[in-house]
């Protein structure tokens, strides 16, 4: 009798300058895939984050992807359908090496239950934003976005500073794990609740969390002490527990947080844990009695959000951080949850209007000195007052690299290509030892249609129009991105991800300029088209867009 192979959980991204593939484009993409698993929550299950977002359909598909990347030529393109490689086509050297479409299911078949069933049948995957596009760089990937949100709250509500202020939140999984460090970097005393002790331990080990409290009383004492003695340095405390239970207890014990938000996985099929259950117990109940699991999860989520609303009623700034918490709370019987604002509409949209968003670069060599060179280029290129000049020193101080050394730095239209071309020159002349992969989160100006998050409450009502991410993907292909991915999160969103690789060649320079300028340009156009004045000014200044003459009446 044939036995199943043992699970694999120790995959690491290759380092150094030795190639296993026929070129650096393929090798860099392979290392990004490996880096996903090196940073993943459950690499043995190919799960990267969100308790379900996968890098490949299964291990057979993963092995086929790796084998293809190692053997494909410079003028071939691999096509991947929801984590399974399905074709290798002769294209041309300027074409993408990898095209991915993940989790895309037609309208009425894309609800939670239907998607969960399709996943169980092995027909699709939950892609997340960056998991199935092989672009995940650990919790750092969302760190600056969370930081910008907290800083935005400081500017709007607290006179520009979070010194002495308390942030209360929940969820420290793959993406939520950025919250305690982002709050600390923004100067706040930050308390994060998570039902999974392993998530908090991981954040402690990687420097994203300062301490794990032993009880709610201990957590309260620690976060109050942090706030009382805070001169702007900030700090973070974690507490193990169910968000609903702990938020209610904190309210009873008269905690007065200044900011309350949440980054729990709120999908009951994939990780929202009902009160009284462990994560493993919740997963077992979903398998054995899904109706009961969903009912218990809905009841817990309703309590969770009602506690947040109590904090709001007592003066806290409360907002959703894009995890569909509000919509699920409304469905669970808390209609007033719909009144809570989103972090995007509060803090991020003005940046999107200028094409500014979560740009990332990854050192394929694995050598931190290559990132140091990029840091130095940034310091020489951008003026002192630029947001990225403020960010890089903080990143150096606070961020431990997870997997391949990488940075995130929010840059806008024209700025991304400017940096990338200078980096490409540094690869050419040997200051950087191997290619740098430039990518971004799908949370960006022109890459997503998400009525519960990035495109919520658009000025012209175009929240659900998904032409924009599709146009973004086609532009990326036209301009020679190394990898292009189109993702859907069930019936909630569609997004596009892309990677462009600086390998030191003239062709790479042409690709980087075209890909990165079109990426931000379509984002500026998207918001200008929706009627945002800042975006219209940015569009006109950059000579983007096409004027449409009105016919006389």
Cα separation, 12 vs 9, in Å, equals 9
Q: Count CB atoms within 10 A of the CB of residue 333.
A: 13
Say yes or no to pLDDT of 394 above 60: yes
Cα separation, 178 vs 147, in Å, equals 9
Contact 265, 323 (CB under 8 A): yes
Give me the phi and psi of 194, to 5 degrees please: -145, 135
Would you state the structure tokens that stand for residue 447, as one six-digit string?
Answer: 């890459």
pLDDT tens for each residue of 56-90:
999 999 999 999 999 999 999 999 999 999 999 99
pLDDT tens for each residue of 462-479:
999 999 999 999 999 999
User: Is residue 393 classed exposed, middle or buried when 0-12, 13-18 and 19+ CB atoms within 10 A define those classes?
Assistant: exposed
Would you state the structure tokens that stand for residue 374, as one six-digit string?
Answer: 């990029």
**Domain spans, the chain:** 46-120, 142-341, 349-541
Predicted pLDDT of residue 152: 94
Say yes or no to pLDDT of 548 above 70: yes
Predicted pLDDT of residue 490: 87
Tell me the Ramachandran region of residue 490: left when phi exceeds 0, alpha when psi lies from -120 to 50, beta otherwise.
Answer: left
Say yes or no to pLDDT of 280 above 60: yes
Q: Which of 59, 62, 64 is nearest to 87 (CA)?
A: 64
Predicted pLDDT of residue 4: 53
DSSP single-letter state for residue 131: T
Contact 516, 441 (CB under 8 A): no
Cα separation, 210 vs 221, in Å, equals 15
Say yes or no to pLDDT of 376 above 70: yes
Mapping DSSP to helix (H, G, I), strand (E, B) and coil, where does residue 317 land? strand
| Sequence-separated (6 or more) residues with CB below 8 Å from residue 511 | 94, 479, 480, 481, 482, 500
Contact 447, 379 (CB under 8 A): no
Q: Which residue has the tokens 């719909």?
A: 338
Q: Which helix (H) or strand (E) element contains residue 485?
A: strand 483-488
Predicted pLDDT of residue 51: 81
Predicted pLDDT of residue 547: 85
pLDDT tens for each residue of 201-239:
999 999 999 999 999 999 999 999 999 986 768 999 999
Mean pLDDT of the chain: 94
Q: Which of 333, 226, 324 is nearest to 267 (CA)?
A: 324
Segment 247-271 mean pLDDT: 94
Would you state the structure tokens that stand for residue 319, as one six-digit string?
Answer: 């907002």
pLDDT tens for each residue of 307-321:
999 999 999 999 999
CA distances from 210 to 41, 162, 226, 345 (A): 20, 18, 11, 30
Classify domain 142-341 by CATH number: 3.40.50.10730
Q: Helix (H) and strand (E) counts for the chain?
A: 19, 17
Residue 3 — pLDDT band, cuts 50, 70, 90?
low
pLDDT above 90: percentage of residues in the chain: 87
Which residues are bridge partners to 170 per DSSP? 193
pLDDT tens for each residue of 134-172:
999 988 888 999 999 999 999 999 999 999 999 999 999
Measured in whole angstroms, the distance separating CA 169 from the mean position of its chain's CA atoms is 17
Torsion on CA atoms 175, 467, 418, 361, rounded to nearest 10: 20
Predicted pLDDT of residue 550: 81
DSSP assignments along 45-65, one per residue: GTEEETTTEESSSSHHHHHHH
Cα separation, 427 vs 424, in Å, equals 5
Say yes or no to pLDDT of 1 above 70: no
Q: Which CATH architecture has domain 349-541?
A: 3-Layer(aba) Sandwich (3.40)
The C-alpha angle 443, 140, 514, rounded to 5 degrees, equals 50
DSSP assignments along 444-476, one per residue: SSSSEE-TTTTTTT-TTS-TT--HHHHHHHHHH
Segment 354-364 mean pLDDT: 96
| Dihedral sign for Cα atoms in the order 124, 126, 130, 136 | negative
Say yes or no to pLDDT of 447 above 70: yes
Note the maximum CA span of the chain. 80
């Amino acid at each position: 009798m044939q036995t199943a192979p043992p699970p694999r959980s120790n995959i690491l991204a290759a380092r150094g300058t030795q190639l296993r593939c026929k070129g650096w484009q393929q090798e860099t993409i392979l290392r990004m895939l490996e880096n996903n698993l090196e940073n993943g929550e459950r690499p043995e299950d190919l799960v990267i984050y969100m308790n379900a977002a996968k890098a490949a359909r299964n291990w057979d598909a993963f092995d086929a992807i790796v084998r293809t990347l190692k053997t494909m030529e410079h003028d071939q393109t691999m096509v991947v359908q929801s984590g399974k490689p399905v074709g290798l086509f002769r294209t041309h050297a300027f074409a993408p090496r990898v095209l991915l479409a993940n989790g895309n299911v037609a309208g009425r078949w894309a609800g939670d239950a239907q998607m969960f069933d399709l996943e169980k049948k092995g027909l699709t995957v939950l892609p997340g934003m960056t998991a199935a596009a092989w672009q995940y760089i650990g919790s750092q990937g969302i760190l600056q976005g969370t930081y910008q949100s907290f800083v935005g709250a400081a500017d709007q509500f607290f006179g520009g500073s979070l010194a002495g202020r308390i942030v209360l939140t929940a969820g420290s999984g793959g993406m939520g794990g950025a919250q305690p460090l982002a709050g600390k970097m923004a100067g706040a005393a930050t308390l994060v609740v998570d039902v999974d002790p392993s998530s908090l331990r991981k954040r402690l080990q990687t420097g994203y969390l300062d301490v794990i409290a032993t009880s709610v009383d201990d957590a309260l004492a620690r976060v109050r002490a942090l706030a009382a003695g805070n001169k702007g340095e900030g700090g973070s405390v974690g507490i193990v527990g169910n968000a609903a239970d702990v938020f209610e207890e904190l309210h009873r014990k008269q905690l007065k947080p200044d900011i309350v938000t949440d980054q729990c996985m709120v999908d009951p099929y994939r990780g929202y844990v009902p009160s009284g259950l462990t994560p493993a117990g919740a997963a077992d109940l979903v398998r054995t009695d899904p109706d009961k699991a969903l009912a218990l999860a809905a009841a817990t989520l309703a309590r969770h959000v009602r506690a947040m609303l109590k904090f709001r009623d007592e003066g806290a700034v409360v907002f959703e951080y894009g995890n569909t918490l509000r919509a699920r709370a409304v469905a669970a019987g808390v209609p007033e949850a719909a009144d809570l604002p989103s972090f995007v509409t509060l803090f991020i949209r003005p940046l999107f209007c200028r094409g500014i968003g979560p740009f990332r670069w990854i050192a394929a060599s694995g050598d931190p000195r290559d990132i140091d060179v990029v840091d130095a280029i940034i310091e020489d290129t951008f003026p002192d007052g630029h947001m990225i000049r403020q960010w890089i020193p903080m990143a150096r101080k606070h961020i431990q690299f997870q997997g391949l050394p990488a940075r995130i730095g929010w840059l806008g239209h024209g700025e991304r290509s400017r940096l990338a071309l200078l980096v490409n020159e540094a690869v050419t002349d040997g200051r950087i030892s191997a290619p740098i992969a430039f990518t971004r989160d799908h949370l960006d100006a022109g890459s997503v249609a998400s009525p519960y998050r990035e495109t919520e409450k658009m000025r012209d009502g175009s929240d659900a129009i998904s032409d924009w991410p599709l146009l973004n993907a086609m532009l990326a292909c036209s301009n020679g991105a190394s990898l292009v991915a189109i993702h859907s999160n069930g019936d909630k969103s569609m997004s596009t991800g892309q990677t462009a690789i600086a390998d030191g060649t003239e062709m790479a320079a042409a690709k980087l300029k075209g890909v990165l300028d079109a990426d931000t340009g379509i984002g500026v156009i998207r918001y200008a088209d929706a009627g945002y004045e800042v975006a219209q000014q940015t569009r006109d200044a950059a000579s983007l867009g096409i004027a449409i003459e009105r016919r006389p009446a």
